[in-house]
Structure 1
Amino acid sequence: MRYVIIGAGAVGGAVGGRLAEAGHEVVLVARGAHHEALRAGGLRLMTPEGVRTHRLPVADGPAALGALRADDVLVLAVKTQDCEAALAAWGPAPVAGGGTAAERLPLVCAQNGVESQRLALRRFRRVYGVCVWLPATFVEPGAVSAAGTPLTGILHLGRYPHGTDGTAHRIAADLEKSRFEAPVVPDVTRWQYAKLLGNLANAIEAVSGPLTGEGGLELFGRVRAEGESALAAAGIAYASEEEQRLARGDRIRLQPFDGAPRRGGSSWQSLHRATGTIEADHLNGEIALLGRLHGVPTPLNDLLQRLANTFARERRAPGSMPVAELVRLAGEAVALADEERPPRS
């Protein structure tokens, strides 16, 4: 199989680089300065074992590849807010022998949240979800780092909306030869919703910095509790914290190394790169959506979604709001929600 990594940033670059190291065919898809850097100098993958440069085929879209191959696997690794454009571009791409990518090829969604695979299933017949546990950083155009050791990441994989098949097992086998653990599970969304609850902290980190102080940690506990209430009201199951601990154990340890500090997660990195967008609509916004659908108030997730989007739109620096100010705004948001809640009859 050939892996076409659509979005060769932090996660996509780490997955594509590790697959290439293990001898698999890989094509990297990127845009702008990153695309140009990959074409000119290859992908520099920085890991605890050192820096390696992978000179791989690079494209800026499906037209650059001509007809896709029947054995291609499309790995969608763009941020969720960029998925719709990517799906619209790649779905109609022709495949050698007839048909389109949406009709014939497997599409593996490797993002935070759960929305990308729902969007994908509108166009693609064969959609696979991944619960991405992979600490990686976009360092600069042409370079990404992955600080996990001895495994680079753990990628629970399954058909979406449920089930497994031979393709999932073949992809998992390739990943497991490439410094990943890739359990094939029939209920991948259980793992993704569990990860979603943890990712609710992304906006706090992006707005106010790492969750090291008591105020930030206490706020995250309340934000997560809102998420758990919304999932319970919607009847959505998720893997327990104990299941996650057993699955991960000490298989991934972060090992910092020179030249590629990991200062924040995916949302923090979006603000740091001043991309103008952020994934909060599909993390905190997912909880807000479930809350509205099922009558559960989610004022803290509403606030974080709004703040993160404002920071992204206005290109504010990550971590520039003091935690005390964020906690004050959270208190106001909860008080306002209590005032607006209709009285019980």
Structure 2
Amino acid sequence: MRCVVLGAGAIGGVLGARLAQAGHDVHVVDRRAHVDAIRAHGLRVRSPDGEDVVRLAATTDFAEPDWAGVDAVVLCVKSQDTAAALAELARHADPQTPILCAQNGVANEDAALRLFANVYGVLVACPSAYLEPGLVRAYSSPVTGVLDVGRYPHGRDTFAVQVSRVLSGAGYASEARADITAYKYGKLVTNLGNAVEALCGPSARGGNLDRLAMDEARTVLFSAGIHAEFAPVSALVQVRPVFGERRPGGSSWQSLYRRTGGIETDYLNGEIVRLGRLHGVPTPVNAALQYAANRLVASGGEPGSVSELDLLRAVVDGRGAAR
């Protein structure tokens, strides 16, 4: 398969490397520092099994890949960067090109469908990290992660089955699912704790705020008539240290650590807030997390620098709920 990976960070970098190692033709598009490092030294992929150096075609220029021969585009940018990436992609790729949205959140597929006819959702459960140019870390072994795929908004077609087989051959657990959207809503619920981890540190993950945000989301989804399925990823993903180090934090934590100037909270907790407003369901927990995360990004604060107790007080006081 010939594919272009847009965004070669934690998810896209590891995926591009694994596909290339499995014999597929991969071209990655990313920012200058990362691309320069990949071109100079290859993409270094560290895992519990050691380090691989994978040579990949890498560019910052959307015009550089040979789009005429591309079988699929894998969209791995953060949700807040999707609109800009799709707008640039539409200038070069044929509108029939299959787009695989290997991203958190549920808004990316709909955005892609405005510009491309063949859109596929990908449920992503791949513990990985991108903290410095030219190096990505994959923390699960022997399976690199879970990447289930299905046509958007629903359907299990021939291409989804083909992609699932390709991903399975590249070291992932993958199923072609007829209702990928339901599974992505399930993943959205579990991703609400990303903001808690980014704000209060990894030790707060799974705590009171996390549970309250998820309970609130389930109420909202029920009121909206949205069905969420939860894929059994824990039996497949085996998280282990990489070079003696545990994974420092998830995708939102990494955005704060790298000072990217953005965070995906508006498309995770903010999606629950949006649905709550549409259906008349209060969402004080997710609204407070969304507000606090955006404030921390604006101030350039460090991940884990916010008190969990202060956030709980903000929920009780209703701060952020009107945002």
- TM-score computed with the length of structure 1 as normaliser: 0.89
Q: Is 1:61–1:89's contact at 8 Å kept on the other side of the alignment?
A: no
Equivalent residue for 1:151? 143
* 2:266 paired with 1:288: no
Unaligned runs of 5+ in 2: none
Deviations 1:291-320 (A, max 9, x none): 010000001111111111111122100000
* 2:236 paired with 1:237: no
Aligned residue identity for 1:220: D
Equivalent residue for 1:30? 30
Equivalent residue for 2:291? 306
Deviations 1:54-73 (A, max 9, x none): 111111132122x4133421
Equivalent residue for 1:5? 5
Structure 2 counterparts to residues 170-249 of structure 1, below 5 A: 170-212=162-204, 217-240=207-230, 244=231, 247-249=232-234
Aligned residue identity for 1:315: G
Q: Is 2:288–2:311's contact at 8 Å kept on the other side of the alignment?
A: no
Structure of larger gyration radius? 1
Q: Is 2:48–2:241's contact at 8 Å kept on the other side of the alignment?
A: yes
CA–CA distance in structure 1, aligned partners of residues 288 and 318 of structure 2: 7
Deviations 1:201-237 (A, max 9, x none): 1111111112448xx7122211111101110111000
Aligned-pair CA distance for 1:25: 1.0
* 2:155 paired with 1:163: yes
Give the total of aligned pairs. 322
CA–CA distance in structure 2, aligned partners of residues 64 and 261 of structure 1: 37
Secondary structure of residue in 2 paired with 1:255: coil
Equivalent residue for 1:54? 54
User: Identity of paired residues, percent?
Assistant: 44
Q: Is 1:209–1:319's contact at 8 Å kept on the other side of the alignment?
A: yes
Equivalent residue for 1:133? 125
Query: Which of 315, 318, 341 is matched with 2:300 structurally?
Result: 315
Equivalent residue for 1:277? 262
Aligned-pair CA distance for 1:259: 6.8
Aligned-pair CA distance for 1:139: 3.1
Equivalent residue for 1:96? none
CA–CA distance in structure 1, aligned partners of residues 245 and 129 of structure 2: 8
Secondary structure of residue in 2 paired with 1:320: coil
Q: Is 1:70–1:105's contact at 8 Å kept on the other side of the alignment?
A: no
CA–CA distance in structure 2, aligned partners of residues 220 and 249 of structure 1: 18
Deviations 1:103-138 (A, max 9, x none): 221010011010111110111110000110100100
Equivalent residue for 1:87? 86
* 2:254 paired with 1:264: no
Equivalent residue for 1:327? 312
CA–CA distance in structure 2, aligned partners of residues 179 and 131 of structure 1: 16
Unaligned runs of 5+ in 1: 94-99, 341-345
Secondary structure of residue in 1 paired with 2:216: helix
Equivalent residue for 1:18? 18
- Worse-superposed segment, 25-34 or 105-114: 25-34
Deviations 1:170-209 (A, max 9, x none): 1111110111011000100111111111111111111111
CA–CA distance in structure 2, aligned partners of residues 47 and 258 of structure 1: 8
Aligned residue identity for 1:130: V
Q: Is 1:163–1:185's contact at 8 Å kept on the other side of the alignment?
A: yes
CA–CA distance in structure 1, aligned partners of residues 16 and 245 of structure 2: 18
Secondary structure of residue in 2 paired with 1:248: coil
Aligned residue identity for 2:97: L
Q: Give the direction of change, closer, same or farther, for the CA distance of 1:260–1:15 in structure 2 (3 Å limit).
A: farther
Q: Is 2:80–2:264's contact at 8 Å kept on the other side of the alignment?
A: yes
CA–CA distance in structure 2, aligned partners of residues 332 and 152 of structure 1: 42
Aligned-pair CA distance for 1:43: 0.5
Equivalent residue for 2:63? 63
Cα RMSD of the aligned pairs, angstroms, is: 1.7
Secondary structure of residue in 2 paired with 1:53: strand
* 2:115 paired with 1:123: yes
